[in-house]
Amino acid sequence: MNANETALVTPHWVQQQLHANRGDLVVLDASIGAQRSLDTGIPGAKRFDIDGEFSCANVELPHTMISADQFQSLVRMLGVNARSMVVVYDAAGIYSSARAWWMFRAMGHSSVAVLDGGLPGWIAADFPVAPMTSTAIRIGDFVARPDVSAFVDQSQVLSLLADPGISVLDARSLDRFEGNAPEPRAGLRSGHMPGSQSLPLSDLVVNSHMLPPRELAVVIQDRLGEAGSIVASCGSGVTACVIALAAHLSGVADITVYDGSWSEWGLHEGPPIAGSSTA
């Protein structure tokens, strides 16, 4: 496998690694929302709680990246070592698992992959499930080496929107992007960042699986155009990471995620917006 291919693994590959009792493999369930309450998953999996401890509690915005020290401490408790191969999945297929994948990469750990198909794909392959835990028997020795370029803030995005070498891509639905559908979070305007482009999650993930590589590359290149870099956004910084995963799989090297995403930009005191609603 090349570096890009290892970012996405199949249920059969994971099952083979578990069957071989691969000692450096750590499997994490990064489900959010209602699926966060599931108490069973891939055997040996531990919960990577993006709705909880893996989001910063000191800010009002949801799903904000935690500090390097916090991340290091928490993933050590999950048994992650510096040499661990981490596989993340979620119960929706490919949704919040990409956020966990990007968080690990943001902390300098490149040996991390998303399970294509997630838990639905695992179950469809007729592989077993088992109770999950939140801690490991042995504490890991993971060391966080943060990459400051992995995330950008609102002020940076404001300047990047005017850069022709950068494509700002939004993973929300087209109706939300165009301002024709209300935001699910109260208190937010409808519309999009001026100069950004729509790239809905549904254009990248079909039946819980990422598009085949060639189709994925076509979609990414269509949005990228002459630009060489991507800034990914969404509602709260979760599905933006699916865009980051798709771009990575397509060979794009310069990728960053707007952590605040529309939860920050769409606030009534936020920057200018485009779309049918400018209230």
Catalytic residue among 27, 85, 210, 234: 234
How far is residue 183 from each of residues 174, 178, 204, 210, 277, measured CA to CA in Å? 12, 11, 21, 25, 11
> Rounded to 5 degrees, what are φ and ψ at 164?
-65, -15
Report CA torsion sign: 259, 262, 265, 267.
Answer: negative
Residue entry with tokens 């952590």: 259
Element (H, E) at 256: strand 254-258
Residue 214 CB contacts under 8 Å (≥ 6 apart), including other chains: none
Cα separation, 161 vs 159, in Å, equals: 6
| Closest alpha carbon to 25 in 48, 53, 46 | 46
Q: Does the annotation mark 56 as catalytic? A: no
Strand partners, 26: 86
Q: Give me the helix-helix angle, 97-106 and 240-249, nearest 10°.
A: 70
Which helix (H) or strand (E) segment is 27 a member of? strand 25-29
Active-site annotation, residues:
234
